[in-house]
Structure 1
Amino acid sequence: MSPLLLSIVLPVHGVERFLPRCLDSILGDTAAVESRFEVVAVDDLSPDGSGAILDAYAARDRRLRVLHLDENRGLGGARAAALPQLRGEYVWFVDSDDWVPERTVSVLLDELAQEHRRATPADVLITDFTHVYPDGGTEPNPWRHVLTGSPLIEGCTLAEHPALFRTVMSVWNKVFRRAFLAGLDVSFGPGYYEDISVTYPALLAAERLRYLDRPCYNYRRGRDGAITATASPKHADVFAQYDAIFAFLDRADRPGPPVPEALRTQVFERTVQQALNVYDSPGLVPADRRKDFFRRIAQHFERHRPAGYRFPGGVRGVQYRLAARGARIAYAELRRTGRLPRELKRGARAVAPAVKKGVRSGARFTAYNAFRRLPLDEHLAVYAAYWHRGYACSPAAIYEKAKELAPQIRGVWVVENRRQADAMPDGVPYVIVNTPAYLKAMATAKYFVNNVNFPRTMAKRPGTVHVQTQHGTPLKAMGMDLRGRPEAAEGMDFDRLQEAIDRWDFLVSSNPHTSEHFARAFPGHYEMLDTGYPRNDRLANATREEVRAMRERIGLRPGTTAVLYAPTHRGGRGGYLPLLDVTDLARKLGPDFTLLVRTHYFHTGGPGDLTVDQDAARIVDVSAHPVVEDLYLAADALVTDYSSMMFDYAVLDRPVVVFAPDWEEYQRERGVYFDLFALPPGAVTVDAEGLAKALLAGDPEPAARARFRARFCVWDDGGAAERVVRRVFPVRG
C-alpha cells in the first residue's frame, strides 16, 4: 500500500461562500490516488454555515475529516489543533477562502513521492501561485523570477539562496515535511500574521528547500474581511511573531544548519520592512493606535538589531534610522515629501536638520489635503514627462491630439522650475512644482498622463484616471524583473514601485514584445493599451520638408552624412561611460560626416573635449537638445549600444549600427529580454574599426533592419496618439 504522502490542513471560519470551491478543487482531483492524501478541516467555531458544509462533504468523501472546535482559536490555533491528527509525510496549510488549480493535488503527490524516495528529501517544497482579485483579474506570482533559474529547482539551503527572503513568507505556498516541522518546536502565533513564526524558522532550519515551478495555489487578494485590507489593533500582533522568530534564532538547540550573520541581518531587515509597510498602508493601523505601533517598531530595533548592524543607504536607510529612534513625526514628514533631502545624504548626524526642512513642507501637505476636499475637475488633465523636465515624449503627443479630439479637456503641464517653464512652447499652460497652482491641479484633476510616475505623496483620488506612457521599448530588464539584480536596480524601492503601479489605470505599450514584458515587470490591474507609442507618430508621419527643416535647424551642411551616437546609461558606473573614442571615429569617417553625440539624460557634463582636425568628421554635442525626435529626423544613421532609441529610430527605416563591445557583461549584469546579436536592428560591431567600416558602407544590413521592424514597429502607423485619446478621454463625434 502506498504511504499516506500528504495531509492538507484547512482552517475554516466565516467562509461559507468560498468553502465549496476550495473543497471541490482539492477533493475533485480525479487523478489523485485516494489513499495517498487526506484533508483535515478545522471548524473554528464558524458563525455561518461552514461547519454544516464540511460535515456534508465529509459524509460523501472519507478523505475529509472534520474537527469542530468549541471556541474560536484563530488561524494559528486551528492549524495547531489539526497537527496531532495528521498522518501524512508532508503537511500543506491551505486557507479555506482560496482554492487550488486543476490537478494540483495529483501533481504534488507525484513530487512528494519522488522526495520520499530521496536520501535527503526536501524539508520544504515551495510552489508557484497566482493572485486572484475580486473582479476576476489574475496576477502571476510577482516573485517567480527569484525562484526560477535558482538552486532551489534542485534543492538548497536558505544560506545558498537568501533571495528567497524577498518572496512571500506565508505558509500556503509551502508544503512541509511533517517530521521536520515537528522537530522545529515552533508554533503558529495567536492573532494576525500567525504563520511567519513558523515560516521563518522552517526556511532557516531546512537542510533542503525545493521550488516547484507550477502554479499550485490561487490566493484571493482584496476580499472583504481580509486582514490586509482591515483596520484593526490586531496588526500589532506582528511584533509577538517577530519575537518568536528571534527566540528561535537565539536557541542553543536550534535545529538545522548554522545561520550566518548576514542571513540574520536579512531576517531583521525583512521584519522591519514588513512592520513599516503595515504602518504606512492606509487604513490598517487605527488612528488611535499609530503612535503605539511606531513605538513598537523602535522597540523591535532595540531588541533584535544584529550586532554591528549598518543601516542601508538612501531613503530606506533614513526611514530605518528614524524608526529606530521612534521619530514618528520626522518619519511622517519624510514620507510626505517623497524625496531624500540633501542634508540626509550626509548621514545620521544630519537627521535633525532634515526634519526641520520636512516640517516646513507640512504647509504644502496641508494645502494639498485642503484642495482634495474640492470636487474633481472633470475637464482637467495634468501632464508631465521625465520627472517634470518639460514638454516631451508621448505625453506631449497625447496632449496635442487631445486638444484636437477632446477640446473640452484642459491640459496643464507640470515643470520643475522657472527655467523649464520659460522653455515651454508658446500657449501651453503649466504649473511649477510645489506652488499653490500645482497643489490644486494635482488634488483636483480628473486625468493624469506621465511617462514616469507622479510623486507618491500625491494620492490617487477615486474617479481619477492615470495614464502611464513609459518612454522606451525594453531590451534591458525593467521594474520588478530587477529584484534579483541589486546592482542594476541601483537602490530601487520595489514596494514604492508597486504602489505607483497600483495607481495606473492605463499602461501604453509600443509593441507586442513590450506588452508581454511590461505585464510581468509591472504587475497591476491597469488596462494595457496596445497602441504603439504616441511619440513615434511624428516619425511615422514625417515629411521630406520636416526632415530638411530639422537638418537646417541643427546646422548640418548639405550633402553631409549625419550619424547620431547615443549610448545608454549603465547602472552602477556613474556618469557618461566613453566606451567609444568619438574623436578617433571622426578621423576614421572623414569630413563628409557629422557626428551628433547625445549622452543619456541621467548623465551630466557631456562627452568632454570633441575637438578634431579639418580632415575628420565634425562633432556636435547635442546632449542638451530638448527634443530627441528632432535628432532622429535629422540623422541619416543611428549608432547606439542598448538604448531603446533603436526601436524608435527603426520607425524611420534608416540604418542602425549597434556598437556593443561589452554585450556579455551588460546582459549578465543588467539582464535582457532578447539576444540583440540574434535580432539586431542592423549591423553589429564590437570595436571601432568595425563601426567605422559599417558606417562607411552606408546601409550594410537592410535585411536585419526589416526583420527588426517586423518585430518591433508593427503598431507604428502614425495613429497611436489618437488611439490613446479615444480610449482615455471623452471624445466628441
Structure 2
Amino acid sequence: MPDLSVVVYGRNVQGHLPDALQELAVAGPAVEVVLAAVGASAQEAAARHPYVTVVPLPDGTPDGAARAAGAARATGRWLQFAHSKDGVPGLAARLAARAVAERAAALDDSVDVLLTDHVRSTWRHARMPSPDGRFLAKPGRRDVPLADCPDLLKVTPLLGTRVVRADFWRAYKDGLTPDEGQPAADDELFTAYALLLTAGRVATHDQVALEERQSRAESLPPVTADDRFALLGTYERLLRLAAERDVGAGPRAVLYAAMVSASLRIIARDRLPEPAAREFFRRASRAALVFRPPGHRRPGGLEGVRRRLLEEDAYAKYRAFQAVNQRRRKARSAVTAGRKALGRKVRDVRYQQDLRRPVDPGLAVFSAYWDRGVACNPAAIASKLAELAPHIHPVWVVTAGNAPLLPPGTDHVVPGSRRYWRVLATAKYLVNNANFPNAVVKRPDAVHVQTHHGTPLKRMGLDQLDYPAAAKGLNFHELLARVDRWDYSVSANSHSTQMWQRAYQSRYVELDYGYPRNDVYYTATAADVRAARERLGIAPGKRALLYAPTHRDYEATWTPRLDLAALADRLGEDTVLLVRGHYFYGGAASPLTSLRRAGRVIDVSAYDPVEELALAADALITDYSSIMFDYANLDRPIVIYADDWETYAKTRGVYFDLLADPPGQVARTQEELTHLFTSDAWRDETAAKARAAFRRRFCEFDDGRAAERVVRRVFLGESEESLPPVTPVDERTPAPTPEEAAR
C-alpha cells in the first residue's frame, strides 16, 4: 500500500493537466497517482504517464463526482486531492509530494487531516507565497483537535492543502460534499472547511505541497446573483455542521467571521442588480444574527461599522456609508486623475461620432500581420466569404508602404486615415490574425474574429510573463483588453485551443475548425504544384528544400545558423534551397552569388503566399517555426535543425519538448543535417512514423474546409451542428507531392 494517493481530478483546464502529471512523475513509489479524467484530452495526457491509474469519466462530470470516483480507486493510506489546473510547484516538484507522503506516514490513525502550505499563481504573478505560514506553525509538530487551535480554520480553504486519511474520508465522505447543484467554487470551499470541522485531530506540515493556479476572472463564466446566494448558503451549512459536531466556540467564531467577511465583500465589490443586492443583504443580515456566537464582539473602526449595519439589516444606511467612503477616496485621487487626463491625447472626435452611426451588417474589415497585406487566415476567410456571402463587402487595413502590393481591385484603408476609423467604427465584422489597436472600441453589435497565425510551440500571451526576453516590455493589461474584444478564436488543434485559453484568458468562443490558410493543402491540384515550382524557377526533377528558420528573441541581431554555401555544395546540383530569411545576402564576393545565379539557392524571404512555397517544396527544414505545423498537413518530410534548442527553450519558453516529439528527423549540427539529406534518412520509416504522430496531434481540424466553417458559422449564422464535420486525418488526401505532380 502506498503512503499517499494523489487524486488528480476534473477536466483539463487551460491545458495544465500534462504539467501536473509530469510534476508528480518524480514523486517516487511511496506516492500513487490516480487521475479521475474528464474528457478525452485528459486520458490522452495520462497515456504519456504509465504510472498513472486512470478513471475515465464522461464530459460534464462535476468535480465532486470526479473526486469521489478517484478516491474510490485509490489504494493509499492518505489521500491528497488536486484539481487538474493545479500542481506541485516547479522548484519543489521532486520533493513536495514525497515530503507529504513521509510526513503522513509518520502519523497514527488518530489524525484525520494533515494541513499543508501552498503557493498561488495567476496570469500575472507566479508562485506567490500564501499567508498561511503563521497559522500552520502554531501546533508545531503536534497533532491537535480543532478546538485547541481554531486558527487552523484561517488557512486558505483549498482542498489540495488538506491531506486526508483514506479511512476517515470513506467514513465521512457523504457529509463532506456540498448540496447538489452548488457552484464548483463552493464545492471545494465546503469540503475544505468540512474536513477540519469533522476531523478528530489535525496535524500540520508547513511546507508547500500545492500550487494553486487561478484563472483570470474574465476567462470564467460570469458570477451570477444565484452563485452569491449559494455561497451564503454554503457558509450557513458549514456553521450548522460546526454546531452539530460541537467543535467549540473558537472554531465557530472563526467560521462566523469568514462568513461575514465574505458577505461584506460581495455587497461592496459585486455589481449585483439592485433587487438582488438588497435581498442578499437581507439574507446575510439574518445569517449574521442567527449564527452569531455567544459573546461575539465586533471589531472596531470602519469594519465594525459595516458589521453593525449588516446585523441591523440597514441596507440604505450601508449604501450611504459606502458612498461617503467612495467619495473620500475619489477626492484623494482627483488631482492625480486630473493630471493624467490633461496629458492624455483626446480621441479622434470624428471617430467618436462614427461610433454613434449604425453598425453596417454588410461590412467586414480584415487585417493580417499588423496591416502588411492580404495574407494568412484572414485572406482565406475573405476568399471564401466572396464565394458564400458576396453581399458582405471586405475592406483590408494595409499600410501605405504595402498598399501598392495589393491584388488589383482590393478595397483598402490606410491606418490612421479618416476612412480607416469610420470602417472600424461601423463594420459588423472585424477579422485579424494579430490584434487591432488599443483605441479601437468594441461595439456590442460588432463581431471580432481572432484567427491567430500559427500553432504555438513558443510561449505566448500571459505565458510570456516569466520570459522577459520574449515579452520585451509587453503591457499585459493592454493585451488582455484587446483579447476581451474577441468574440471568436480560430484553432487548428486541441493543443492550440488549450494554450490560447491559458495565454489569452477571456470569454471568447473557440472555433475548432482548422486554420483556413491550410485549406489549400487539401484543395491544390497537381497543376497548382507544378505552377508554383515554375514561378519559383525550380527545374523539373530537382529536389526543392524549403529552409524557414524562426527569429531568436535572445539575439540582438540575426546570427546565421547554417553555412548555406557549404550545404548547397554538399547536397549537389540536383537540390535547390528555398531560403526564407534575410541573413544570407552578400556582395559580389559572397560565395552564394554564383549559387543564386545558378538557381540553387533562391531567396524567398519576401515571397507570398508562403503556402505556395510549401506546395513547391519536397521537404521542409526548420528549427522552431510554426510553419512545421502547417506543412505537416502535406504529409511530406520535415527535418528539425535544432542547434540551440536548450537556449531557445530556456529564454523563449516552450509548451512541449520538440526534440522528444518531433515531426521527423532531428539534426543538432550542420554535419548531421547534411548527412540526413545525402542519405535517405530524411524520408525513412522513422521519419514517417514521427510525422504521422505529429499530424494526428497538430493537424487535428485541418481538412480543407476550415474557411467554409468559419464563414458559415460567423457570417451566415449557421448552427454548429449544420457545419461540415471534420474529416479524420487518416481519411484526408493532401495535395500531390512535386514528384507525383510531375508524372
TM-score by length of 1: 0.56
Q: Give the counterpart of 1:409 among 387, 392, 396.
A: 392
Find 2:187's aligned residue among 96, 102, 109: 102
Q: Give the corresponding residue for 2:703.
A: 717
CA distance in 2, matches of 1:475, 1:287: 49
Match of residue 533, structure 1, among 515, 518, 535:
515
Change (3 A) 1:495 1:136: closer
User: How far is 1:422 from its partner?
Assistant: 1.3
- Which residue matches 1:379? 362
Equivalent position of 2:458 in the other structure: 476
For residue 370 of structure 2, what is the amino acid of its counterpart? W
- Going from structure 1 to structure 2, the CA distance change for 1:594 and 1:505 (only over 3 Å counts) comes to same
The CA distance in 2 between the partners of 1:516 and 1:668, in whole Å, is 21
Contact 2:545/2:617 (<8 A) preserved: yes
Is residue 147 of structure 2 the alignment partner of residue 89 of structure 1?
no
Deviation at 1:686, TM superposition (A): 0.4
Using the TM superposition, give the Cα deviation of residue 720 of structure 1 relative to its aligned residue in structure 2, in angstroms. 0.4
Q: Which residue of 1 aligns with 2:413?
A: 431
Specify whether residues 552 and 291 from structure 1 end up closer, same or farther in structure 2 by C-alpha distance, changes over 3 A only: farther
Report 1:574-613 matches (<5 A). Answer: 574-599=556-581, 608=586, 611-612=591-592
Helix, strand or coil for the counterpart of 1:449?
strand
The yes-or-no answer on 1:295 pairing with 2:335 is yes
Q: State the match for 2:612 in structure 1.
A: 630
Report the CA distance between 1:408 and its aligned residue.
Answer: 1.1
Secondary structure of the 1:88 match is helix
Distance in 1, matches of 2:403 and 2:201, equals 65
Amino acid at match of 1:508: V
Aligned partners of 2:419 and 2:643: how far apart in 1? 49
1:645 maps to which residue? Answer: 627
Q: Compared with structure 1, are the counterparts of its residues 550 and 453 closer, same or farther at alpha carbon in structure 2 (3 Å cutoff)?
A: same
SS of residue matched to 1:466: strand
1:512 Cα deviation from its structure 2 partner: 1.7
CA distance in 2, matches of 1:225, 1:515: 37
The separation in 1 between residues aligned to 2:327 and 2:601, in whole angstroms, is 61
- Give the gaps of 5 or more residues in structure 1: 1-24, 32-85, 140-177, 183-187, 196-216, 227-284, 299-325, 334-361
Residue 730 (structure 1) aligns with: 716
Match for residue 692 of structure 2? Answer: 706
Q: How far 1:663 moved relative to its partner?
A: 1.3
Q: For the Cα contact (< 8 Å) 1:387–1:452, is it kept in 2?
A: yes
Paired residue type of 2:701: W
> Which residue in 2 is equivalent to 1:570?
552
Deviation at 1:293, TM superposition (A): 3.0
Q: Is the 8 A contact 2:469 2:651 kept in 1?
A: yes
* Alignment size in residue pairs: 467
Q: 1:657, 1:695 within 8 Å by CA — same for their partners in 2?
A: no
- Unaligned runs of at least 5 residues, structure 2: 1-62, 72-148, 158-181, 225-249, 276-324, 723-743
Which of 373, 383, 393 is equivalent to 1:390?
Answer: 373
Alignment of 1:448-487 (within 5 A): 448-487=430-469
- The aligned residue for residue 695 of structure 1 is 677
Alignment map for 1:10-409 (pairs within 5 Å): 87-91=150-154, 100-107=185-192, 117-118=203-204, 127-129=212-214, 136=221, 223-224=272-273, 293=333, 295-296=335-336, 326-330=339-343, 332-333=344-345, 362=346, 365-409=348-392
Aligned partners of 1:133 and 1:223 also within 8 Å: no
Residue 47 of structure 1 corresponds to which residue in structure 2? none
Amino acid at match of 2:674: A
The corresponding residue for 1:494 is: 476
Partner-residue secondary structure (3-state), 1:102: helix
Report the alpha carbon displacement of residue 576 of structure 1 after superposing the two structures with TM.
2.6
In structure 2, relative to structure 1, the CA distance for the partners of 1:429 and 1:617 (3 Å cut) is closer
Deviations 1:341-360 (A, max 9, x none): xxxxxxxxxxxxxxxxxxxx
Work out which of the residue numbers 542, 553, 558 in structure 1 matches 2:524. 542
**Distance in 1 of aligned mates of 2:617 and 2:219:** 50
C-alpha root-mean-square deviation of aligned residues, in Å?
4.5
**What amino acid is aligned across from residue 329 of structure 1 in structure 2?**
L
Deviations 1:161-193 (A, max 9, x none): xxxxxxxxxxxxxxxxx99xx9xxxxx9xx99x
Amino acid at match of 1:611: P
Distance in 2, Cα, partners of 1:401 & 1:693: 43
Give 1:528 deviation, angstroms.
0.3
CA contact (8 A) 1:132 1:220 kept: no
Q: Is the 8 A contact 1:487 1:572 kept in 2?
A: yes
Q: Contact 1:658/1:684 (CA < 8 Å) preserved in 2? A: yes
CA contact (8 A) 1:132 1:221 kept: no
Q: Which whole-Å CA distance do the structure 2 matches of 1:693 and 1:138 have between them?
A: 59
In structure 1, C-alpha distance between the alignment counterparts of 2:502 and 2:601, rounded to whole Å? 41
| Residue in 2 that maps onto 1:267 | none
Cα distance, 1:553 vs structure 2:
0.9
1:442–1:394: structure 2 CA closer, same or farther, 3 Å change rule?
A: same
Name the aligned partner's letter for residue 699 of structure 1.
R
Shift of 1:626: 2.8
- Cα distance in 1 for partners of 2:667, 2:223 equals 43
Query: Is the contact made by 1:405 and 1:731 (CA closer than 8 Å) also made in structure 2?
Result: no
**Structure 1 CA distance, aligned partners of 2:429 and 2:154?**
50
TM-score (norm 2): 0.56
One-letter code of the match for 2:591? T
2:494 & 2:440 partners in 1: Cα distance? 31
Q: Deviations over 1:80-120 (max 9, x none)?
A: xxxxxx943342689xx998442544446769999974585
CA distance in 2, matches of 1:400, 1:469: 14
Give the structure, 1 or 2, with the largest relative contact order (CA under 8 Å, sep 6 or more): 2
What residue in structure 2 maps to residue 171 of structure 1? none
**8 Å Cα contact 2:432/2:452 also seen in 1:** yes
Cα 1:590/1:412, change in 2 over 3 Å: same
CA shift, 1:492, in A, is: 1.6
CA distance in 2, matches of 1:554, 1:367: 47
Residue 670 of structure 1: CA displacement?
A: 2.0
Pairing 1:682–2:664 present: yes
**Which moved further from structure 2: 387-396 or 627-636?**
627-636
1:125 to 1:618, Cα distance in 2 relative to 1, 3 A: closer
Aligned partner of 2:688: which letter?
Answer: P
